[in-house]
Amino acid sequence: MNQNSQFGLPSSYRLQTTNTQETYEQVVIFQLRDEVYAVPVARVQEIIRLQPITVIPRAPDYVLGMTNLRGQVIPVIDLVKRLGLGQVQENKLARIIIAELPGQMVGMMVDNVISVAQLPQSEIEPPSPVVLSVDSQFIMGLTQYHEYLIILLNLDKVLSRPVDTTLS
C-alpha cells in the first residue's frame, strides 16, 4: 500500500476541484530545525518511526547508513545535514520519510512530520534566493499554510547526487 492510500488520498498529488477550478498540490509537511518543509505526497512511499541504521564506511557525510524495511535495504540520509542546516536531533518525534526515486527508495530523516495537506497551487510562490537559508536549487516554491511558512523541496535536486553507499 502506498502512502497516498494510507492517508486516504488519491494516487495523484495534483487535484482539481469542480467548484473553484483551483489546482492543489498534496504534500507531506515536516519540520527541519525551526523551519517547515514539504514534499509531494506522490513521491512519498511511507513514513516510519526511527529504526536501527547501519553505518556505511566512506559514505557521504549526509548519508546516515542503511536500514532494512520489511526485507528491502534502503539508504537513509539526514535531510537536515543534506540541506546544510546542521544535523537531525533524534527524538521521539523524528521520523524517516521513505521517498521514491527512479530505480530506488531513499529514507530521509526529519525532525518531525506535521501533516499531509492540500496547498492551492495559485498561492505557491517561486523562491527568492536572497532570503533562503537553503540553496535555492533545492526549492520549488514557498507558501503560507495556517501558521507555517512552507518551503516546498525539489526532491530531484535535493537527492540529485546519487546516494551511493558502495565502497570505491
**C-alpha closest to that of 124 among 12, 5, 14:** 14
Reported as a single tens digit per residue, the pLDDT across 15-33 is 444 455 889 989 999 999 8
**Dihedral Cα 37, 143, 154, 60, nearest 10 deg:** -30
- The CATH number of whichever domain residue 89 belongs to comes to 2.40.50.180
**C-alpha closest to that of 25 among 114, 117, 139:** 117
Domain that holds residue 29: 3-157
CA dihedral sign of residues 5, 140, 33, 145: negative
Q: Rounded CA gap, 15 and 119, in Å?
A: 10
Reported as a single tens digit per residue, the pLDDT across 115-149 is 999 999 999 998 775 655 556 678 889 999 988 89
Is 167 a domain residue? no
Is 166 a domain residue? no
Is 163 a domain residue? no
Q: Rounded CA gap, 151 and 126, in Å?
A: 10
Is 74 a domain residue? yes
Is 144 a domain residue? yes
Q: Rounded CA gap, 120 and 123, in Å?
A: 6
Is 21 a domain residue? yes
Is 97 a domain residue? yes
Give the pLDDT score at 135: 60
Domain count, the chain: 1
